[in-house]
Amino acid sequence: MNLNLRTDFTISTRHKYNGFHCALPSLLKLPISPLPRFSPAHFFQNPPVLSLSLSAASGGCGIRGGGGGCDLQKGEVAMALAFDEYGRPFIILREQEHKTRLRGLEAQKANIAAGKAVARILRTSLGPKGMDKMLQSPDGDVIITNDGATILEQMDVDNQIAKLMVELSRSQDYEIGDGTTGVVVLAGALLEQSEKLLERGIHPIRIAEGYEMASRIAWDHLEQISQKFEFSVTNIEPLVQTCSTTLSSKIVSRRKRDLAAIAVEAVLAVADLERRDVNLDLIKVEGKVGGKLEDTELVHGIIVDKDMSHPQMPKRIEDAKIAILTCPFEPPKPKTKHKVDIDTVEKFQTLRQQEQKYFDDMVQKCKDVGATLVICQWGFDDEANHLLMHRNLPAVRWVGGVELELIAIATGGRIVPRFQELTPEKLGRAGIVREKSFGTTKDRMLYIEQCANSRAVTIFIRGGNKMMIEETKRSIHDALCVARNLIRNNSIVYGGGSAEISCSVAVEAAADRHPGVEQYAIRAFAEALDAIPMALAENSGLQPIDTLTAVKSQQVKENNPYCGIDCNDVGTNDMREQDVFETLIGKQQQILLATQVVKMILKIDDVITPSDY
Amino acid sequence: MAIERLLKDEATEEKGERARMASFIGAMAIADLVKTTLGPKGMDKILQSTDRGRSLTVTNDGATILKSLHIDNPAAKVLVDISKVQDDEVGDGTTSVVVLAGELLREAEKLTMAKIHPMTIIAGYRMAAECARNALLQRTMDNKQDPEKFREDLMKIAITTLSSKILSQDKEHFAKLAVDAVMRLKGSTNLEAIQIIKKAGGSLSDSFLDEGFILDKKIGIGQPKRIENAKILVANTAMDTDKVKIYGARVRVDSMAKVAQIEAAEKEKMREKVQKIVAHGINCFVNRQLIYNFPEELFADAGILAIEHADFDGIERLALVTGGEIASTFDNPESVKLGHCKLIEEIMIGEDKLIHFSGVEMGQACTIVLRGASSHVLDEAERSLHDALCVLSQTVNDTRVLFGGGWPEMVMARQVDELARRTPGKKSHAIEAFSRALQIIPTIIAGNAGLDSAELISQLRAEHHKENSKAGIDVITGNVGDMEKLGISESFKVKQAVLLSATEAAEMILRVDEIITCAPRKREDRM
């Protein structure tokens, strides 16, 4: 056993097993140096593993896949161990025993399995009858939600592919805000289909290409079946209905109508209908435990979870002129290092007077410009606090930066970083500022209403417990996003799985016209699209296959792309009658994002994991 | 092929039926835990804390019990949370809400066993809760117009609330205390203004309500012990050494003589400050921060009563009752509002000296002094009284009143039952289950009192089939009685909160079909 033997063996491998798609898993684990613990005899104990995938590669449809696999095999040996011109080995990938590695078809299958596992978790949360997940965070807090993005974010995922799916859901959340569950379920279905295709020996790249084509077909088809849908500031009914569809899958579905109306009103209040744009930052969603969901309200103004700095300041200010400060009511702290040395009694006294003057000046400046309320990002010294109170100038301290900005936008004021820069023009205006207390404990909040610029609103959520409030916040966020998307682009498609079924039919038809291996992939895509209505039906307690086939045939027969799954047991399949809409861009984005991620996963053929410490 | 790891190490995942079972069992365990404390004959629990002191708490307040538990089951945490919210929001009914939610889940478990989908159960529960709420609304009584009667209502509610607590021996006495205290608030829900001072010794019935204000502090030595027509300055200022607040200032001297000079200047500064305070024309000075010996002496010289180190709540309350403002600068004596009271004196309660302010300007605040045999008794008495005060202050705002003693549950159960009969489809099972869960509450009350609950409940149900029945359980005699005659009342707001949050919590837990527990965060080793 020496080095030569190893070299010989490499050659023979290449010769004999040229065209194999799969590599020896055990090869990886073997120590590379000292080399010659390896013997051909050992190697030949392994062929069963190899031959399995041999048939897969050669029995395929005569595509280039085999060749690719061959390169891979050679590449592997070269990667772990290379030889210089004198035939001496040197190692490229070090410490093999500490890494686990999956390659080729096996890597793809493992990845697909991981992706499917994530999708399986979310599958039951889809649709109006979807179930929730209870998540316990590392600190023991409990979250109950059926929002896909939130579930995945909190799930403590370790697998790399699963992390990709988490990313997928998050990007849908950022881009559209709704449909975060659907996108993952669709990606899972696509992966499932590609697994079958891989087994038939179709090369992953060809599958990816097929999916790409199919997604384009589906995208165009969505555009065709979409409808423009008119609304105006006076007629917000259609908007409210769309938001209701979004909310119906959440725990707040009991009050979906009211909450949808609140969300739409909020969005319209801040919307710029000319530019068709909505800045959701202007809508603040604030929650307070207690009361009931019915008490949730839209406040045309800002709510700050703070109270007046001094308990005896007035609780209600009308026609407030607000100074918004980011400097503390404290003696200045220069950034440069300095020391004030006191060495005589006179200095001690002047310093003291100076200090008192500071406070006096600060308060006087606010008073001089005519402010009747001071909102400050920082704290107050006791003395300053009393002076403010004494001069009848109510103040609020420790207001967060984001809230400060919102207040500035709402009241039309400017954030002032220094007392010297305070001028009357920089003050914000609000019709009424009042403090409101809740419950039996000392819980107070500050309402700033009737602001100069009404384009900042707050949705104030009440609910039985903390988890309920959090979930309501997430649901409201989804509804807000939907309303915004509609203002940006007022095309809609019908929900209840009808759009997916219609796309599936269209893609299926297109597949037959397509020559080449991609045809299989396109057909598989059509089948994957069926997964969403299937999951909807399953979650609603219907027979999934029966229902899906019935609806599909109805769509084809009546040439009506608006037939969907009747989740709520209303009695009609026509989603137009049920008023179940989704936004066109949301749906398109779902298909696009899911396809992209699946393509990415399919292209991975080598996973190297460093082992844990 | 199996995926090796989707989640991180130690993270666990429970699915479908198992997840549902886990949350049902967790929630029911919590409900069973507090069940025995329900009602006038409910039992108490001893809680021993895990900290070094191993301190004990004896209580039958649901929220207190649940707050101190270390719970790992996520569903159980939901219940603890609703009980906490109930406590914050209405103050009472913390046990009932957990028990009701637990019972709703117990019924739901049976239904899921019978293969009814959780979503169907939720739909049924929602309908039932709405119907139950309407049933209560129709039967509320409102005596807002008639102050005499309203006060009677308040008394009844206070007695009902207190009867399940440790104070039940002297419930009339305490009910009167609580009602008086709340009526003084004049509609405000700010319970901060009611101060509760606990002093061990004596018996519970020695507790009293004081119209003035009692500050648990001592009067400085050499200062007057009794002041009539006091003018009080309430302050929050440093009376130790007045620090130079300018950043980076420090004293650097080169000789002992200068140190002495600066010290003298410092003293002079304090003396000036005291003089400024004295110039307000006061004879009582209350400060939140410490008062050092030197200024204290100065105050004594000026014949001013100086009280140091009152806590922040005390200061706020004192400012509230005396009508003064909390001052921190003393340059403009003419414009600072001083507090007034007729008499300040030192009084003794038990062995402790306290400062008593009587004849205060604003009548809003008051003090309740609780006396009792041990600190445990006092703690529990305070919690009970707090519950009563919360309920009363909520009732002052929402004056609708219901009968107690299981009456509201039976009224709701009857209406819900009728709804179940009218509703077609699987939902009706859930609605029926809701009605059963409602009836469990009087059953538990009767059971805890050692009565034949099955017998009593069936009598009660029969009684409630008559229109406008006022029947409820009379725990004392062990019979079905007329709640109006027995004077057992409850606040509508509390009952409504119990109903709604219990349904919400049950719904939330029912909707879960998967529990994912993250790996607990690693504590850093501090060894």
Count the Cβ atoms, other than its own, within 10 Å of residue B35: 22
What digits encode the pLDDT tens for the residues B383-410?
Answer: 888 888 888 888 888 888 888 888 999 9
- For residue A15, pLDDT over 90 is answered with no
Residues B218 and B302 in one domain: yes
End-to-end CA distance of chain A: 33
- Chain B residues whose CB is inside 8 A of the A256 CB are none
Enumerate domains of chain A plus CATH numbers.
10-97 (no CATH), 104-227+494-610 (1.10.560.10), 230-296+476-489 (no CATH), 301-453 (3.50.7.10)
Residues B217 and B356 in one domain: yes
- For residue B24, pLDDT over 70 is answered with yes
From B85, B244, B328, residue closest to A465, measured CB to CB: B85
- Mutate: best of A53, A124, A141, A142, partner B, most B CBs <10 A: A142
Instruction: Let me know if residue B1 belongs to a domain.
Output: no
Q: Which residue has the higher pLDDT, A596 or A389?
A: A596
Mark yes or no for CB contact A117/B91 under 8 Å: no
Once rounded to an integer, what is the mean pLDDT over residues A196-207?
90
- Residue A428 bridge partners (DSSP): A322
Mark yes or no for CB contact B508/A132 under 8 Å: yes
Give the CATH number, domain containing residue B156: 3.30.260.10
For residue A6, the distance in angstroms to the closest alpha carbon of chain B comes to 32
From B118, B252, B517, residue closest to A343, measured CB to CB: B252
Q: For residues B65 and A329, what is the distance between their CA atoms, to the nearest angstrom?
A: 43
Q: Which residue has the higher pLDDT, A532 or B187?
A: A532
- For residue A199, pLDDT over 80 is answered with yes
Residues B110 and B235 in one domain: no
Q: What is the DSSP letter of B478?
A: T
Say if residues A296 and A462 touch (Cβ distance below 8 Å). Answer: yes
Q: For residues B55 and B63, what is the distance between their CA atoms, to the nearest angstrom?
A: 18
Q: For residues B444 and A406, what is the distance between their CA atoms, to the nearest angstrom?
A: 51
**Alpha carbon of B247 to those of A327, A378, A438, B250: distances in Å?**
15, 16, 39, 9
- Chain B residues whose CB is inside 8 A of the A381 CB are 245
What pLDDT was estimated at residue A239? 83
Q: Which residue has the higher pLDDT, B253 or A183?
A: A183
Instruction: Let me know if residue B353 belongs to a domain.
Output: yes
Q: For residues A215 and A592, what is the distance between their CA atoms, to the nearest angstrom?
A: 7
Give me the torsion for CA of A367, A368, A369, A371, rounded to 10°: 10
Q: For residues A146 and B123, what is the distance between their CA atoms, to the nearest angstrom?
A: 17
End-to-end CA distance of chain B: 43
Kindly state the helix (H) or strand (E) to which residue A157 belongs, with its residue range.
none
What pLDDT was estimated at residue A47? 39
Residues B220 and B184 in one domain: no
Once rounded to an integer, what is the mean pLDDT over residues B198-225?
78
Mark yes or no for CB contact A251/B508 under 8 Å: yes
Q: Is B243 on the interface with A (CB under 8 A)?
A: no
Instruction: Let me know if residue B168 belongs to a domain.
Output: yes
Residues B207 and B218 in one domain: no
Mark yes or no for CB contact A352/B269 under 8 Å: yes
- For residue A181, pLDDT over 60 is answered with yes
State percent of chain B over pLDDT 70.
91
Residues B253 and B206 in one domain: no
- For residue A74, pLDDT over 60 is answered with no
Once rounded to an integer, what is the mean pLDDT over residues B28-45?
86
Once rounded to an integer, what is the mean pLDDT over residues A537-566?
88
3-state helix, strand, coil split of chain A in percent (to 5) is 55, 15, 30
Question: Smallest Cα–Cα separation from A98: which of A593, A505, A612?
Answer: A612
Say if residues B41 and B475 touch (Cβ distance below 8 Å). Answer: yes
What digits encode the pLDDT tens for the residues A202-245?
Answer: 999 999 999 999 999 999 999 998 888 777 777 788 788 888 88
What digits encode the pLDDT tens for the residues A251-287?
Answer: 787 788 888 989 888 888 888 877 788 888 888 888 8
What pLDDT was estimated at residue A442? 63
Q: Which residue has the higher pLDDT, B217 or A130?
A: A130
What pLDDT was estimated at residue A24? 38
Name residues 180-199 of chain B within 8 A of A (Cβ): 189-192
Residue B523: pLDDT band (50, 70, 90) is: low
Residues B217 and B358 in one domain: yes
Choose the most confident range, by mean pLDDT, from A1-10, A393-402, A562-571, B208-217. Answer: A393-402
- For residue B449, pLDDT over 90 is answered with no
What digits encode the pLDDT tens for the residues A563-579?
Answer: 888 877 777 888 888 88
* Beta carbons within 8 Å of B436's beta carbon, 6+ residues apart: B103, B107, B413
- For residue A352, pLDDT over 80 is answered with no
Residue A441: pLDDT band (50, 70, 90) is: low
Tokens of B308: 């140091």
- Which residue out of B170, B210, B387, B474 is catalytically annotated? B387
- For residue A73, pLDDT over 90 is answered with no
Last residue of a domain, one of B303, B337, B362: B362
- For residue B158, pLDDT over 50 is answered with yes
What pLDDT was estimated at residue A251? 78
Q: Is B75 on the interface with A (CB under 8 A)?
A: yes
Mark yes or no for CB contact A311/B326 under 8 Å: yes
Q: For residues A375 and A130, what is the distance between their CA atoms, to the nearest angstrom?
A: 44
From B3, B74, B521, residue closest to A142, measured CB to CB: B74
From B75, B248, B516, residue closest to A135, measured CB to CB: B516
Of A98-107, A300-309, B261-270, the one with minimum mean pLDDT is A98-107
Count the Cβ atoms, other than its own, within 10 Å of residue B88: 18
Mark yes or no for CB contact A251/B507 under 8 Å: yes
Residues B409 and B379 in one domain: no
Say if residues A202 and A61 touch (Cβ distance below 8 Å). Answer: yes
Mark yes or no for CB contact B500/A464 under 8 Å: yes
- Chain A residues whose CB is inside 8 A of the B247 CB are 331-334
Residue B365: pLDDT band (50, 70, 90) is: low
Residues B409 and B501 in one domain: yes
For residue B497, the distance in angstroms to the closest alpha carbon of chain A comes to 8
Residues B260 and B307 in one domain: yes
Name residues 484-523 of chain B within 8 A of A (Cβ): 497, 500-501, 504-505, 507-508, 511-521
What pLDDT was estimated at residue B432? 93
Last residue of a domain, one of B398, B422, B457: B398
Residues B351 and B233 in one domain: yes
Q: Please report where in the chains the tokens 């989707």 appear, as a residue.
A: B6
Residue B240: pLDDT band (50, 70, 90) is: low
Instruction: Let me know if residue B524 belongs to a domain.
Output: no
Q: Is B266 on the interface with A (CB under 8 A)?
A: yes
* Beta carbons within 8 Å of B363's beta carbon, 6+ residues apart: B184, B211
Phi and psi based region of residue A474 (left: phi greater than 0; alpha: psi -120 to 50; beta: remaining): alpha
- Average pLDDT across chain B, whole number: 82
**DSSP labels, B36-79:** TT-STTPPPEEEE-SSTT--EEEE--HHHHHHT-----HHHHHH
For residue A134, the distance in angstroms to the closest alpha carbon of chain B comes to 5
Give me the torsion for CA of B38, B40, B41, B47, rounded to 10°: 50
Number of domains in chain B: 3
**DSSP labels, B214-268:** EE---PPTTS-SEEEEEEEEEE---BSS----STTEEE--SSHHHHHHHHHHHHH
pTM exceeds 0.90 for this model: no
Size of interface A-B (CB pairs under 8 A): 249
Instruction: Let me know if residue B387 belongs to a domain.
Output: yes
What pLDDT was estimated at residue B111? 92
Give the CATH number, domain containing residue B314: 3.50.7.10
Mark yes or no for CB contact B81/A465 under 8 Å: yes
Q: For residues B511 and A132, what is the distance between their CA atoms, to the nearest angstrom?
A: 5
- Residue B285 bridge partners (DSSP): B233, B306
Question: Smallest Cα–Cα separation from A302: which of A315, A286, A324, A322?
Answer: A286
In B61-209, where does DSSP find H-type helix? 62-67, 74-89, 94-113, 118-138, 147-163, 171-185
What pLDDT was estimated at residue B435? 94
- What residues of A are labeled active site? 147, 180-181, 478
Once rounded to an integer, what is the mean pLDDT over residues B446-468?
87
Say if residues A187 and A594 touch (Cβ distance below 8 Å). Answer: yes
Tokens of A153: 């974010």
Q: Which residue has the higher pLDDT, A75 or A334?
A: A334
Q: For residues A55 and A68, what is the distance between their CA atoms, to the nearest angstrom?
A: 15
In this structure, the strands spanning B12-15 and B479-482 are unpaired
ipTM entry: 0.73
**DSSP labels, B391-449:** HHHHHHHS-EEEE-TTHHHHHHHHHHHHHHHH--STHHHHHHHHHHHHHHHHHHHHHHT
Residues B225 and B122 in one domain: no
- Average pLDDT across chain A, whole number: 78
Instruction: Let me know if residue B3 belongs to a domain.
Output: no
Once rounded to an integer, what is the mean pLDDT over residues B215-238?
77
Give the CATH number, domain containing residue B471: 1.10.560.10
For residue B522, the distance in angstroms to the closest alpha carbon of chain A comes to 9
Helix A180-199 vs helix A204-225: angle between axes, to the nearest 10 degrees? Answer: 140
Q: Which residue has the higher pLDDT, A138 or B332?
A: A138
Q: For residues A353 and A521, what is the distance between their CA atoms, to the nearest angstrom?
A: 83
From A440, A463, A467, residue closest to B191, measured CB to CB: A440
Of A142-156, B74-88, B154-168, B245-259, the one with minimum mean pLDDT is B245-259
From A254, A348, A467, residue closest to B81, measured CB to CB: A467
What pLDDT was estimated at residue A211? 94
Domain range spanning residue B452? 12-141+403-517
- Chain A residues whose CB is inside 8 A of the B264 CB are 345
What pLDDT was estimated at residue A575? 83
Task: Give yes or no: B95 in active site.
Answer: yes
What digits encode the pLDDT tens for the residues A158-172?
Answer: 788 888 888 899 999
Of A50-54, A516-520, A536-540, B205-209, the one with minimum mean pLDDT is A50-54
Question: Smallest Cα–Cα separation from B408: which of B492, B300, B517?
Answer: B492
